[in-house]
């Protein structure tokens, strides 16, 4: 069973986390495959040794701001 809070997070498009078992339940209910629900975003992660996510290499012509995660409930994030 999936909680109402977790479904709310999924519905908003910003889930904090999702267990694979929950993803299986959603697929059974919708009659689809896991790949039908996931959108790859390879630009959000880097391989070891590359620039950090959210930064652009020097000389690329555009500077993207670093992404800083924020909680929606107003609580602070744990220290890094």
Condensed to tens digits (0 to 9), the pLDDT of residues 4-43 reads 877 777 778 777 778 889 889 889 988 999 888 888 888 8
Is 66 domain-assigned? no
Segment 32-60 shows an average pLDDT of 72
Is 57 domain-assigned? no
Is 65 domain-assigned? no
Q: C-alpha angle 48/54/56, rounded to 5°?
A: 85
What's the total number of domains in the chain? Answer: 1
Q: Which token pair is 20? A: 């694979």
52 has a pLDDT exceeding 70: no
Give residue 16's domain range: 4-39
Is 77 domain-assigned? no
pTM beyond 0.75: the answer is no
Is 28 domain-assigned? yes
The answer for residues whose C-beta is within 8 angstroms of residue 33's C-beta and 6 or more apart is 27
Is 73 domain-assigned? no
What single-letter DSSP state applies at residue 77? P
Is 60 domain-assigned? no
d(C-alpha 24, C-alpha 38), whole Å: 12
- pLDDT at residue number 28: 92
């Amino acid at each position: 069973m999936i909680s109402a809070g977790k479904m709310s997070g999924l519905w908003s498009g910003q889930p904090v986390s999702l267990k694979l078992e929950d993803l299986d339940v959603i697929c059974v209910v919708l009659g689809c495959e896991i790949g039908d629900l996931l959108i790859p975003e390879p630009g959000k992660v880097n391989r070891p040794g590359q620039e950090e996510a959210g930064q652009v290499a020097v000389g690329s012509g555009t500077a993207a701001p670093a992404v800083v995660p924020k909680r929606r409930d107003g609580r602070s994030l744990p220290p890094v």
